[in-house]
Amino acid sequence: MVNQVQKADGSWQSCKSDSSGASNSGESSKESSRCSTPVLDADRSDRLRHKMRRRIESGDRWFSLEFFPPRTASGAVNLISRQVDPDRTVAIKPLKVSLSESTWSLSSRFDRMGSGGPLFIDITWHPAGDPGSDKETSSMMIASTAVNYCGLESVLHLTCCNQTKDKITGHLGKAKHLGLKNIMALRGDPVGADWEEEEGGFNYAIDLVKHIRSEFDDYFDISASLVGYPTGHPEAESYEDDLRHLKEKVDAGADFVITQLFFRADTFLKFVDDCRAIGITCPILPGIFPIQGYQSLRQLVKLSKLEVPEEITQVIEPIKDNDAAIRNYGIQQAVEMCRVLLDSGKVPGLHFYTLNREVATMEVLRQLGMWIEDPRRPLPWAVSAHPKRKVEDVRPIFWASRPKSYIYRTQDWDEFPNGRWGNSSSPAFGELNDYYLFYLKSKMSKDALLQMWGEELVNEESVYEVFTCYITAQPNRRGHKVMCLPWNDDPLAPETNLLKDELEKVNRRGVLTINSQPNINGKPSTDPIVGWGPPGGYVFQKAYLEFFTSSENVNALLKVLKKYEPRVNYHIVNVQGRNLTNAPDMQPNAVTWGIFPGREIVQPTVADPVSFMYWKDEAFALWIEQWAKLYEDESPSRMIIKYMHDNYFLVNLVDNDFPLENCLWQVIDDMFELLDAPPERLDDGAASEYNVFKQPL
Amino acid sequence: MVNQVQKADGSWQSCKSDSSGASNSGESSKESSRCSTPVLDADRSDRLRHKMRRRIESGDRWFSLEFFPPRTASGAVNLISRQVDPDRTVAIKPLKVSLSESTWSLSSRFDRMGSGGPLFIDITWHPAGDPGSDKETSSMMIASTAVNYCGLESVLHLTCCNQTKDKITGHLGKAKHLGLKNIMALRGDPVGADWEEEEGGFNYAIDLVKHIRSEFDDYFDISASLVGYPTGHPEAESYEDDLRHLKEKVDAGADFVITQLFFRADTFLKFVDDCRAIGITCPILPGIFPIQGYQSLRQLVKLSKLEVPEEITQVIEPIKDNDAAIRNYGIQQAVEMCRVLLDSGKVPGLHFYTLNREVATMEVLRQLGMWIEDPRRPLPWAVSAHPKRKVEDVRPIFWASRPKSYIYRTQDWDEFPNGRWGNSSSPAFGELNDYYLFYLKSKMSKDALLQMWGEELVNEESVYEVFTCYITAQPNRRGHKVMCLPWNDDPLAPETNLLKDELEKVNRRGVLTINSQPNINGKPSTDPIVGWGPPGGYVFQKAYLEFFTSSENVNALLKVLKKYEPRVNYHIVNVQGRNLTNAPDMQPNAVTWGIFPGREIVQPTVADPVSFMYWKDEAFALWIEQWAKLYEDESPSRMIIKYMHDNYFLVNLVDNDFPLENCLWQVIDDMFELLDAPPERLDDGAASEYNVFKQPL
């Protein structure tokens, strides 16, 4: 296709765009400014209405997914994530508007559903469930998790019936602060049968649409729904009235329409024609409900006052006790209806009422060829969909295993690094606090953690063994696998597995690794293990190794490192802040980067010596908060962890010579060799230069 | 050495710095902000006084060089540059404060003298030579050339005697606008013997120092000089008075002192001691004058009223007619004196009065081991020392052969790209105008240009031959070498020579190349041909080719390029702005980048589709302004150039697969093959899709 590029003199010239059909429209280019344009994903910087417009222009159909928040904390745990131990679900009193633990456990569901490529998801508003609160089950927090940690474009439902203006404004302000950009404006069900219009209050969704536009200008994209029933709203005086109300909502500022569910394609297509006839021009998305069971269908029909067409009841009634048969029918019925809708040319995207279930919706989308799992990552780390973070494409490597912590500690930043990390002499990471350290910890129960990390530690070697078992994925001497460490929530990444043998060897000897990556010299960006970014590119890495180790080891290491100048950059620090680095001018060192067709260089990960000082406070605190506190005060186990916290150093090493074989293992080997040598070798020469380490610690 | 890094809580921690001794001081880190820190050269972002302080702290001695502006235009040409043809020196009426042609010809001298690594150069102020004007020989313009085009830290002298405050303020404002950051504040010589102090006027240098500080706050670094005679100013009532005046100037805001010349180390060392004794703590630089000839010495002594010590006159008088002997003696005398000065530990740097001659000063510095030519480039292009450009590290590749044009057209930008070019939808390049196109043209005479480019062109092939001779460095059929083209001021770069055979082949057939680079997959940054940046790094390039060619060729090329999607990015445009590109989202494509130890990625050159539309206006205009206008109106030669200007396309190609063999030659070969095929092949299929090119042009 041929796009337009505007020249300085105001004239337009045509230019052929890439196959994705993305165009640099005049409008979006106004938003962009030098050095702040996302490189890898034009979608990331656009608002939802523009994404829709681009897809419509290119003929690229999309789908979207609706979820409801779990009603109770334990319900959330049972329903949303199989990995959460209910014992760990505790009341949480956040220090500020923030994200609680159980909402994070949603990530896995969202990640799975997000991997198929929905244009957006939406989260329903449950007035009875304290939907705007900081509770882990609130609509607000679930939507925030989707945006901030799962990187999903999200629409938050909001109902206005029986709400004060102040309360609504408060919800909207909070949503904006959390990075939510889209609101589905709803009236909501009046409470009780004696509901009456309130003078000057919010009686209809249009009041909410107007309020959003008057209080928040153009910030939010707004969806109108529900009253936009394809068959006419049950309470509407007439289908024509219903259409007129919808037109008014769109005229008041709604950007797109999602319909309630329906069972016949014709119903929806007539509705679209009728909308167009009265001048509704915005996108209208059909709400698709794959029938998933007899009871759920009956309940839904009862609630929505919809009639199920006879051709469907005739099929369902005979098989109503056969759940599998009904599900299969539901999938087949939805696929057929969607095909008719898509073939009509009037449907730019499909909206699915998932009921928080994955299987049916995914199967419908697969059969339609619209569920396209793309295992490639746009960046080596999961991007956030918070609008403040839309240009973010650089992070320090230190938080690689704790991305939620990184997002949490940087949530108050006004701008995020793009293209280059820069010399951040004052990066202003959020302060550590107990809330943060405690609630960001493992989802395991205390008993499970003790089984993994040792009911009773006898010496430092007991700790080495825990690290070694984590690396090797072998059970410890009591037969329990070590699935996580205070610094690593998850088992080893496939990439780290590339280093497994070397990691095992050094952990056994007290080089307690918490972060590492191999060097990579130009692998294809589609590589299944280390690839990221668009196809046709090449990714690179410098070898990185980060570990805790004793001061004796550090003394030997410093001597060894002299041989590796300037090939190896190091940064060595203890909990008191004793600190040695050879970083030139305290500048960041890019350790991951990628080269792509037609793009600027992307360098998503750096080892930044200034940020490292903030990370080390967190890394050391995790020893105490997550490990030592598992044991009784004054117990030997607790004293051992406390001793290591007080006396060990945190070390990071970068091998700058990425085209050569990684030399960091040789560095560690040389250190061990020096340690194994007669003692006089360790005390001569270089060691004395580093007398900062010879003072009592 | 151990440096300090400040934490957010205000505490300081020690960290080992790199061997360059550069520290990230609290003060300089305040100036830096995220994403705007220069990566490769800490010196680039610092002001002169901070550079001096850093050098003093690290014990790293420097030197500086003083030049005077040539008095007349033809004098400038004869004296400064051997390559300038006097015929071309014409009166210039700039449209705005800008840089005229003849000053650019200074570049070669400055480049040679700059290559030895002076900390700064200074340009004297010649009140009789209209020093603040836009004339090519003015002090102001010479200093501006040094800063903007040669990247030299420069100090502009300024005298205040007999000047109004408004005039002085005007000079200073202009200097600031041009990017000059340092002023040597001088009284200047009173005009005539009847000079009297003027009430409230500028009578002494201290008045100027105070004026600079009151009108321009801390913007300028200020040097005091001349009156700081090591032996006491001839006009001073006493040596003590002279010292007291100097102290007052430093107290008023002068940042460092440069002395007048002297012939005995003791003279200077006593002077430093006396300065320190009365509390002058700033750097004091000795003015070194290597004796270069008998007459010049006599004249200088007469002007400065200095006495030449007897031990020197005793040597010189007997050899006064032997220039070479005197020069050798001058070098030997200067070297010995400088050694004493440096050994004293009281001299952080040496200031040389060069009298615009290179040889003696360079030889003295070489013998002292202070002239360290470093052929490595910090970036692939010459950096500018304008303070606005201190963070600039990305430029479009299109102006690679016309860097002065690029600097000129971007001089009004408020900020310069750093780390990433970004999606510059409105880069606001300065407009083309006749002044600009005409005066930025070749320094050759019209006759010389006609000899190279053809007294008479008979067809387009005559033009192909000019391009081919330029590429091959072979004489044309009349025996003249083609040393430049309208798009290339200089002979082929060594790097382009790597492509010579292929370039010759395609130019012969009408692919008229004006810019190209080979692909590079990780060569050492110290590579003598393609290397740049600090040692220990690796540099990379994507192959790039830019050329004019006929619309027939473009039709075939477009068909061929379909085979090379997405490997090859192209941008094809004609003078009317017909424009085809496959650049994704009109984003820039990084075509040169480097990976260095302990640094972020540097990507100094991009192919930016938006900037290309500005470049093409310039590239097409050069056909007319620099080539067609050499011929009579309506002459066949002029019509041929005009035809090519009107009908040829400008094409750029980037091969994204930098690790593989450059495919761009294959692309051109395929194009020729298609053109050589029977005509039906060209007209079928793809060609018809690009019907924009089939309309009459």
Highest mean pLDDT among A137-141, B168-172, B446-450: B168-172
The end-to-end CA distance of chain B, in Å, is 68
What one-character-per-residue DSSP string does A544-601 give? EEEEEE-HHHHHHHHHHHGGGTTTEEEEEEETT--EEE--GGG--EEEEEEE-TTS--
3-state secondary structure of B221: strand
Which residues are B592's β-sheet partners? Answer: B541, B605
Bridge-based pairing of strands A395-396 and A349-353 is unpaired
Residues of A in contact with B522 (CB under 8 A): 521-522, 659
Per-residue pLDDT, B309: 86
B312–chain A nearest CA distance, Å = 47
User: In chain A, which residue's Cα lies nearest the Cα of B424?
Assistant: A34
User: In chain A, which residue's Cα lies nearest the Cα of B599?
Assistant: A589
Residues of B in contact with A583 (CB under 8 A): 15, 18, 598
Confidence of residue A72 (pLDDT cuts 50, 70, 90): low
User: In chain B, which residue's Cα lies nearest the Cα of A25?
Assistant: B585
Rounded distance, CA B203 to CA B348, Å?
Answer: 31
3-state secondary structure of A325: helix
pLDDT at B92 over 60: no
What one-character-per-residue DSSP string does A641-652 give? HHHHHHH-EEEE
- What is the Rg, in whole angstroms, of the alpha carbon atoms belonging to chain A? 28
Tens digit of pLDDT for each residue in A358-401? 788 999 999 999 987 766 678 888 788 888 888 889 999 999 88
Read off the pLDDT of each residue in A54-71 and give the average, rounded to a whole number: 89
DSSP E strands in B530-666: the ranges are 538-541, 543-549, 568-574, 579-581, 589-595, 602-607, 649-655
Rounded distance, CA A14 to CA B579, Å?
Answer: 6
Tens digit of pLDDT for each residue in A530-556? 899 999 999 999 999 999 999 999 999
* Among A111-125, B61-75, B324-338, B466-480, the least confident range: B61-75
Among residues B608, B380, B42, B170, which one has the least CA distance to residue A584? B42
Of B17, B428, B581, the CB nearest to A16: B581
Q: What DSSP element (H or E) covers B121?
A: strand B120-123
Read off the pLDDT of each residue in A279-296 and give the average, rounded to a whole number: 91
Per-residue pLDDT, A636: 95
Per-residue pLDDT, A299: 82
Name which of A585, A613, A652, A691 to mutate to probe chain B: the one with the most chain B Cβ atoms within 10 A of its Cβ: A585
Of A581, A598, A600, the CB nearest to B15: A581
Q: Are B31 and B317 in contact (CB under 8 A)?
A: no
Per-residue pLDDT, B190: 62
Of A8, A590, A598, the CB nearest to B589: A598
Among residues B385, B405, B343, B396, which one has the least CA distance to residue B368? B343
Which residues are A515's β-sheet partners? Answer: A546
Q: Do A17 and B585 touch (CB under 8 A)?
A: yes
Residues of A in contact with B42 (CB under 8 A): 585
Tens digit of pLDDT for each residue in A589-635? 999 999 999 999 999 999 999 999 999 999 999 999 889 999 999 99
A583–chain B nearest CA distance, Å = 6
Q: Are B675 and B553 in contact (CB under 8 A)?
A: yes
Highest mean pLDDT among A261-265, A349-353, B132-136, B498-502: A349-353
Q: What DSSP element (H or E) covers B145?
A: helix B139-148
Q: Are B121 and B155 in contact (CB under 8 A)?
A: yes
**ipTM, interface predicted TM-score of the complex:** 0.74
pLDDT at A147 over 60: yes
Confidence of residue A495 (pLDDT cuts 50, 70, 90): confident
One-letter amino acid identity for A61?
A: R
pLDDT at A230 over 60: yes
Considering chain B, what percentage of its residues have pLDDT values greater than 70?
Answer: 79
Cβ atoms within 10 Å of B237's Cβ, excluding its own: 10
DSSP structural state of residue B263: S
Tens digit of pLDDT for each residue in B638-647? 999 999 999 9
Read off the pLDDT of each residue in B600-604 and give the average, rounded to a whole number: 95
pLDDT at A58 over 90: no
* Among A31-45, A155-169, B408-422, the least confident range: A31-45
Q: Do A598 and B606 touch (CB under 8 A)?
A: no
Name which of B30, B35, B614 to mutate to probe chain A: the one with the most chain A Cβ atoms within 10 A of its Cβ: B35
pLDDT at A23 over 50: no
Q: Do A24 and B424 touch (CB under 8 A)?
A: no
Q: What DSSP element (H or E) covers B256?
A: strand B256-261
Per-residue pLDDT, B82: 29
Name which of A425, A520, A571, A611 to mutate to probe chain B: the one with the most chain B Cβ atoms within 10 A of its Cβ: A425
Per-residue pLDDT, A697: 34
A634: left (phi over 0), alpha (psi -120 to 50) or beta: left
User: In chain A, which residue's Cα lies nearest the Cα of B415?
Assistant: A34
Q: Are B385 and B356 in contact (CB under 8 A)?
A: no
Rounded distance, CA A479 to CA B240, Å?
Answer: 89
- What is the Rg, in whole angstroms, of the alpha carbon atoms belonging to chain B? 28
Per-residue pLDDT, A76: 46
| Cis? peptide before A636, omega within 30° of 0 | no
Please list the active-site residues of A.
66
Among residues B52, B101, B69, B367, which one has the least CA distance to residue B223? B52
Per-residue pLDDT, A96: 29
Per-residue pLDDT, B569: 97
Read off the pTM: 0.75
Given the residues B27, B66, B237, B461, the one annotated as active site: B66
Confidence of residue A196 (pLDDT cuts 50, 70, 90): low
Q: Is B66 a catalytic residue?
A: yes
Considering chain A, what percentage of its residues have pLDDT values greater than 70?
Answer: 79
What one-character-per-residue DSSP string does A456-475 give? S--SHHHHHHHHHHHHHT-B
Confidence of residue A672 (pLDDT cuts 50, 70, 90): very high
Task: Please give the structure tokens belonging to residue B410.
Answer: 């971007």
Rounded distance, CA A616 to CA A579, Å?
Answer: 11
Residues of A in contact with B587 (CB under 8 A): 37, 39, 598-600
User: In this structure, what are the phi and psi dihedrals at residue B95, rounded to the nearest 5 degrees?
Assistant: -80, -30
Query: What are the angstrom distances between the C-alpha of A398 and each of A402, A429, A547, B166?
Result: 8, 13, 11, 57
Task: List all residues 6 or more positions away from A620 whose beta carbon is below 8 Å from its beta carbon.
Answer: A575, A645, A650
User: In this structure, what are the phi and psi dihedrals at residue A235, rounded to the nearest 5 degrees?
Assistant: -85, -10
Name which of B34, B557, B564 to mutate to probe chain A: the one with the most chain A Cβ atoms within 10 A of its Cβ: B34
Query: What are the angstrom distances between the C-alpha of B324 and each of B295, B315, B320?
Result: 13, 14, 10
* Residue count (chain B): 697
Read off the pLDDT of each residue in A229-245 and give the average, rounded to a whole number: 69
Of A419, A583, A598, the CB nearest to B587: A598
Residues of A in contact with B541 (CB under 8 A): none
User: In this structure, what are the phi and psi dihedrals at residue A473, rounded to the nearest 5 degrees?
Assistant: 60, 25
B408–chain A nearest CA distance, Å = 18
Residues of A in contact with B33 (CB under 8 A): 422
Confidence of residue B237 (pLDDT cuts 50, 70, 90): low
B376–chain A nearest CA distance, Å = 18
B525–chain A nearest CA distance, Å = 12
Rounded distance, CA A36 to CA A415, Å?
Answer: 10
What one-character-per-residue DSSP string does B302-328 give? HHHTPPPPHHHHHHHGGGTT-HHHHHH
Confidence of residue A19 (pLDDT cuts 50, 70, 90): very low
User: In chain A, which residue's Cα lies nearest the Cα of B603?
Assistant: A601
Per-residue pLDDT, A121: 92
B605–chain A nearest CA distance, Å = 10
Read off the pLDDT of each residue in B221-231 and give the average, rounded to a whole number: 70
Rounded distance, CA A20 to CA A1, Å?
Answer: 10
Tens digit of pLDDT for each residue in B259-271? 888 889 998 999 9
Residues of A in contact with B19 (CB under 8 A): 566
One-letter amino acid identity for A665?
A: W
A3–chain B nearest CA distance, Å = 9
Read off the pLDDT of each residue in B217-237 and give the average, rounded to a whole number: 70
Q: Do B598 and A610 touch (CB under 8 A)?
A: no
Rounded distance, CA B404 to CA B384, Å?
Answer: 10
User: In this structure, what are the phi and psi dihedrals at residue A5, rounded to the nearest 5 degrees?
Assistant: -125, 135
Of A33, A423, A521, the CB nearest to B32: A423
A40: left (phi over 0), alpha (psi -120 to 50) or beta: alpha
Give chain B's mean pLDDT. 81
One-letter amino acid identity for B645?
A: H
Q: Do B577 and A11 touch (CB under 8 A)?
A: yes
Read off the pLDDT of each residue in A219-242 and give the average, rounded to a whole number: 70
Read off the pLDDT of each residue in B63-71 and give the average, rounded to a whole number: 87
- More confident call, B234 vs B603: B603
